[in-house]
Amino acid sequence: MMPTLLHFGVGSIPWSPLGGGSKYQAVDNAIVPLILDLARPLRTSGETERSKRFGADGLTGASKAIIAKVEEIASKRGITMSQVALAWSISKPFISAPIVGTTKLEQLDELIKGCEIELTAEEIKEIDDLYEPAKIVGHS
């Protein structure tokens, strides 16, 4: 779908790429929003009601590696995982505006700062390269 959007100059608006579980699939060697929670380290899975329902148990090894890479980049840069995930999302030419769904003013402030962050081409590639094809979830 994403190559078609690019071809016709149409953008996408991914639902909740930072929150309770964004989903991604590969399209032409790029990760595209499609169960990853890129805003929290894996070790915190099960600490909230939402993560108790949608914890890391069902994640593939590749998904866990992507989350770990987002955490690593955030740690190296001294920024949050949400900011890395948002910066990654808006680095994609087919994403017009991710819906971030904040519930606190502090989260909104954090994400506004995240819009100013530019990941390096190497950081984007490090995240993208970890992707492995997975079954689409939620549709039969």
Neighbours of 112 (CB within 10 A): 13
- The pLDDT of residue 116 is 92
Write the pLDDT tens digit of every residue in 52-83.
555 555 677 888 898 899 999 999 999 888 88
**Which whole number is the average pLDDT over 11-32?**
55
Record the pTM: 0.72
Domain residue extents for the chain: 2-128
Indicate the SS3 state at residue 46: coil
Evaluate whether 2 touches 94 at the Cβ level (below 8 Å). yes
* pLDDT mean across residues, the chain: 75
Q: Using alpha carbons, list the distances in angstroms from residue 81 to 73, 74, 109.
A: 8, 5, 14
**Virtual torsion, Cα 50, 90, 65, 20, nearest 10 deg:** 0
Query: What CATH class has 2-128?
Result: alpha beta
Write the pLDDT tens digit of every residue in 104-127.
888 888 888 888 999 999 999 999
Quickly tell me which residue has 């900011």 as its tokens: 83
33-64: b or e for each residue (b if 16 or more CB lie within 10 Å)?
A: bbbbbbbbeeeebeeeeebeebbbeebeebbe
Write the pLDDT tens digit of every residue in 86-106.
899 889 888 888 877 777 888
